[in-house]
A and B are shown apart, each in its own frame.
Chain A
Amino acid sequence: MLIAITFYLMAFTAVAAAFMVVASRNPVHSVMYLILTFFSAAGLFILMGAEFIALLLVMVYVGAVAVLFLFVVMMLDVDFVELKQGFLQYIGIGATVALILLAEMIMVGAVYFTGESKTVVPTDPNTTNLEAFGQVLYTDYAGAFEAAGLILLVALIGAVVLTLRERKGVRTQNAAKQMSRTREDGVELIDIEPGQGLG
């Protein structure tokens, strides 16, 4: 019973929040709903007994999206004074999202600890999720794993190629030049007459 209610709450929230990501006009709201979507999906994974994927989802997506959120705020040139003025206006949506998240966490916790969540029976009950991943990731899927690494390398090259500019007249640190400085280059002793100044 509890598991059914939890499932439908999660599933409904995930779909409704995903819809709101597209529907809301404010990009900041969209990000909030996106976090809600990921969180609900993570809850669904926990219900299936896949706690590792659930945690991965929260850490990678919610964590990364939180960073993305910051970038959006920085790049959209949001007026912070105006944003603070509208604080009361946003408290409604913020509180709603927070309350749903809280309810979801409590329900998932309840289901997980009452042991109702064993809907998928693992082949070996003594193997944890993490062990099961480890057994195939570097054996059966070693090729795919290495190729995924190369995809990340391509993304890295792309980020550098499309954004790195070598501008002239920029003062960059030259370590070799710094190291080769001697005392004679840097220090000059001047005998100043009292009362004359450097002139």
Chain B
Amino acid sequence: MFQTLSTFLPELFLALSASLLLGFGLSKTNDRSVIVRYISVGVLVVFAFMGYVLDRPDGVSFSGLLFNNDFSDFLKAIIGLSAAAALMLSKNYFQKESLDRYEFSVLTLYAVLGMSIMVSANNLLAMYIGIEMQSLALYILAAFNRDSLRASEAGLKYFVLGALSSGLLLYGASLIYGFTGSLDFETIRASIALTGPTTGIIAGMVFLLCGLAFKISAAPFHMWTPDVYEGSPTPVTGFFAAAPKLAAMAIITRLLIVPFGDIIGQWQQVIVVLAVLSMVVGALGAIMQTNIKRLMAYSSIANMGYALVPLAAGTVAGVQGMLVFMTIYIITVIGVFAIILQMRLRNGMVEQVSDLSGLSKSNPGMAFGLTMLMVSLIGIPPWLGFFGKLFAFVPAVEAGLLWLVVVALVASVISAFYYLRIIKTMWFDEPNREFIRAPRTTRVIAIASILLVIPVLILPGLSGAALGLADSAAQALFAQ
């Protein structure tokens, strides 16, 4: 009994905590948003480590809807921790903008529950339900500042395009079901092994990938990203850039490796096209941006392109490379948003790149931190971003996709321009105004992220352990 229960204990724990917190926050007399936020952060941290601490057997739950193994445990750890960091970042912002409501934390928990179902999904139905639970919560979070016209626009845009992508996804899923007779990943694989890739299966698979490409904002399905990133409240944007991207990337990986593992020749070209377009759009689109949140949106499009490069190889090393790259990207991007959240003048937040001018004189610590993060995003050794790209590109070269890696390197060089422009603005332009002192939580998260991207400070044992975890996660996926 307990063994069956333990296979989906993290999800159960999250669902129960979210529902209890929803009831707890409902107090007419006093505002409980602060305490609900702290409890939610605790819940997310516990959730993150649950998979590893329980050390349960790999297990199927709900008649094959969910399948938990090292792959999903690894992803849940990263998703849980990054969501906890984003939730902490939101504390001061929402209090300052007097938007703080306990539903924010509860909705974040439900979004993470959806992501958790996504990364464990072993069935097209479970995948769809996970995606919908996550997306619905995220639409609400995007429009959370309901009095702001731009936030409402961001929420609406995200909702309409998200509904479109769900339509594509469902159409693909129905084709797959029609041609293979099952929703279960392993049965689909067995069925494809029997019939070969028929036209219907290929069409269904392409529709599924298009629907999921919306969720990772890979070009040409990236149109919503800059507007949603710009319009949403900044901590929500930080959350969007991290956990949901990883969850969608994970479900793409699982789809490609488990049900479609035998027809790599069919999907490799789709992934390559998505990767090349994302890298080019992300690198070129960001050049003209003056708003730092829009710039980070294009940067995330480009980074999703890089993450797709090792996936196109379709090997264990490729999946490991993707996991390592995404983990490093998430660490960096949370740091960047922790710093963007410190760009507060006396009369409110600013988000233009030009507002950073002369930061090295007015706030040298912040300028140094953002420089470290930008250098890591460019991928200069020995910063951590370099190792992310190294682990991402080597498997692609080994799989004979040398030209794809060349495109990725050219895109990296182009995108170095706008990261370097931020550094130049901070160190060489004249200072114009001073930011007010940032709150402690924001600074602590920024410093933690900056320390993590400076690799000399990471103990070799820690990085070795992290690589080992990513490797066993990739192995588990292929063993499935």
B111 nearest CB neighbor, chain A only: A154
- How near does chain B come to A180, taking the closest CB pair, in angstroms? 18
Knowing A144-B125, A147-B133, say if A158 contacts B140 (CB, 8 Å).
Answer: yes
The verdict on A154 contacting B136 (CB below 8 Å), with A143-B8, A162-B143 known, is yes
Residue from A142, A148, A155 in contact with B129 in the complex, judged by beta carbons closer than 8 Å: A148
Does A154 lie within 8 Å of B140, measured CB to CB?
yes
Q: Mark A102-125, 1 if CB is under 8 A from B, else 0.
A: 000000000000000000000000
Q: Interface segment, B99-107, B288-296, B365-373?
A: B99-107
Q: How far is the CA of A150 from the CA of B16 in the complex (A)?
A: 11
Please tell me if the beta carbons of A161 and B136 are within 8 angstroms of each other in the complex.
no
Is A161's CB under 8 angstroms from B125's CB? no
Q: Determine whether B63 belongs to the interface, using a CB cutoff of 8 Å to chain A.
A: yes
Complex-state Cα separation, A91 to B126, whole angstroms = 46
Q: Which of B22, B63, B136 contacts A158 (CB 8 A)?
A: B136
Across the interface, do A140 and B63 meet the contact criterion of CB distance under 8 Å?
yes
Interface check B210, CB cutoff 8 A: no
The answer to whether A141 has its CB under 8 Å from any CB of chain B is: yes
**Are A161 and B65 in contact, with the CB atoms below 8 A?**
no
Q: Is the interface of B mostly helix, strand, loop or mixed?
A: helix
Q: Contact mask B18-36 → A, CB, 8 Å, 1/0?
A: 0100100000000000000
**B144 beta carbon closer than 8 Å to chain A:** yes
CA A162 – CA B144 in complex, angstroms?
A: 7
Summed over the interface, the residue pairs from A and B with CB atoms below 8 Å come to a total of: 67
Interface string of B103-121 (1 = CB under 8 A from A): 1001100100100010000
* Closest B residue by C-beta to A151: B133
- CB pair B117 A154 closer than 8 Å: no
Task: Give B117's nearest chain A residue, CB to CB.
Answer: A147
8 Å CB contact of B113 from A148, A150, A163? A150
B125 contact set on A, CB distance < 8 A: 141, 144
Chain A min CB distance to B171 (Å): 13
The answer to whether A150 touches B15, judged by C-beta atoms less than 8 angstroms apart, is: yes
Are A143's CB and B66's CB within 8 A?
yes
How many B residues face the partner with a CB closer than 8 A?
A: 30
The answer to whether the Cβ of A23 comes within 8 Å of any Cβ in the partner chain is: no
Does A161 contact B117, Cβ atoms closer than 8 Å? no
- What string of 1s and 0s marks CB contacts (under 8 Å) between B63-106 and chain A? 10110000000000000000000000000000000000101001
Q: How far is the CA of A158 from the CA of B20 in the complex (A)?
A: 17
Nearest CB in chain A to that of B63: its residue: A140
The yes or no answer to B429 lying at the interface (CB within 8 A) is: no
Interface residues on A, range: 10 to 19
Q: Chain B nearest CB: distance from A113 CB in Å?
A: 28
- B351 at the binding interface (Cβ < 8 Å): no
8 Å CB contact of A151 from B22, B66, B126, B129: B129
Residues 139 to 173 of chain A near chain B (Cβ within 8 Å): 139-144, 147-148, 150-151, 153-155, 157-158, 160-163
- The reply to whether B133 and A139 contact each other, CB–CB distance below 8 Å, is no
Task: Provide the residues of chain B in CB contact with A163, threshold 8 Å.
Answer: 146
A56 → chain B closest CB, angstroms = 17
| CB pair A150 B133 closer than 8 Å | yes
* Interface SS of chain A: helix
Are B126 and A154 in contact (CB-based, < 8 A)?
no
In the complex, chain A residues whose CB is within 8 Å of the CB of B214? none
Known: A151-B133, A154-B133, A157-B106. A142 touches B62 (CB 8 A): yes
Q: Does B132 contact A (CB under 8 A)?
A: yes
CB distance from A68 to the nearest CB of B (A): 15
Interface centre among B63, B117, B144 (most CB of A within 10 A): B63
Q: Is B139's beta carbon under 8 Å from chain A?
A: yes
**Contact between B107 and A144, CB atoms less than 8 A apart:** no
Q: Is B477 an interface residue (CB 8 A)?
A: no
**B182 part of interface (Cβ distance < 8 Å):** no
The verdict on B362 contacting chain A, using a C-beta distance below 8 Å, is no
Residues of B137-178 contacting chain A, CB below 8 A? 137, 139-140, 143-144, 146, 155
Q: Closest CB of chain A to B94's CB: distance in Å?
A: 13
Query: Do A154 and B61 contact each other (CB < 8 Å), given the known contacts A141-B125, A161-B103, A162-B143?
Result: no
Whole-angstrom distance between the alpha carbons of A37 and B474 in the complex? 45
What's the least CB distance linking A24 to chain B, in Å?
A: 19
- Are A154 and B110 in touch, CB under 8 angstroms? yes
A162 CA to B148 CA, complexed, in Å = 12
Cross-chain contact A154 with B63 (CB below 8 angstroms): no
17 contacts between A and B (CB under 8 A): A140-B62, A141-B62, A141-B65, A141-B125, A143-B8, A143-B126, A144-B65, A144-B129, A147-B117, A148-B129, A150-B15, A153-B22, A154-B107, A154-B136, A154-B137, A157-B107, A161-B101
**10 residue pairs, one from A and one from B, having the closest CB atoms:** A143-B62, A158-B140, A140-B63, A147-B129, A161-B103, A143-B65, A151-B133, A154-B110, A154-B136, A144-B125
By a beta-carbon cutoff of 8 Å, the part of chain B in contact with chain A is 8, 15, 19, 22, 61-63, 65-66, 101, 103, 106-107, 110, 113, 117, 125-126, 129-130, 132-133, 136-137, 139-140, 143-144, 146, 155
Can you add 9 more A-B contacts, CB < 8 Å, to A143-B63, A161-B101? A141-B65, A143-B66, A143-B126, A151-B129, A151-B133, A153-B110, A158-B107, A161-B144, A162-B146
